[in-house]
Amino acid sequence: MIKFQLSAFFCLSLIILLLPSSAFACACCAERGYYSIRTAKPSDYQMKELQKLKFKTAELYSDAGYPDTIKGINPLGESFSVNSLLNGKNWAFNFTDNNRKTGKLDLAKPLSIVEYMVDLPNAGSEGEVKLYKEWRFKYKVQKATGIFKNGFAPADEYFLVLQGYGNVCTSAEDFTKWRLEITGKRAEFSFFGNLSAIN
């Protein structure tokens, strides 16, 4: 009986070794043509990953109508630095311009997250599917101070997008770009820049 069990185990092990690696699909891997978009309540895992993000650079978005198309920043600086903490009930974004004028945006913790992932042709190396992905958040601005104070109104909204690449399993390390848009009665401006994950 023992010999039979050992033989069966040996044969099963041999079969497993002979199977192609593709037979064991990676739980975090995606196939060509992958596309996913879903809206849900932010999970505890996602909230913890957000706390690992470090906002490294900030640039004010400007178009052909600049500076007339920018509302809600006074005085209007030419370049900015940023630090932020996505934690707790309020998400804080602190900006400092080239003249050392400061402004703070307190954003209410969002009730939902939009997760978007798609396979883009030629995004990864040969044989690898590397997904472009976004985490999107949209909700209310709780408070604005400093250079943003005069443009703030209680109905102002924010739209925060984190951008990056990776596989189906998303972590803070996947995201390398961000964009924050503020819209309201007296506010109309956007910042964008680079970010990284704190180890």
Question: CB-side exposure of 113: number of CA atoms within 13 Å?
Answer: 17
Contact at 8 Å (CB) between 106 and 141?
Answer: yes
Per-residue pLDDT of the chain (199 residues; tens, 9 = 90+): 544 444 544 444 444 444 444 444 588 988 999 999 999 999 999 999 999 999 999 999 999 999 999 999 999 998 999 999 898 788 999 999 999 999 999 999 999 999 999 998 766 556 678 999 999 999 999 999 999 999 999 999 999 999 999 999 999 999 999 999 999 999 999 999 999 998 7
Closest to 82 (Cα-Cα) out of 106, 51, 103: 103
Q: Which residue has the tokens 């992932």?
A: 117
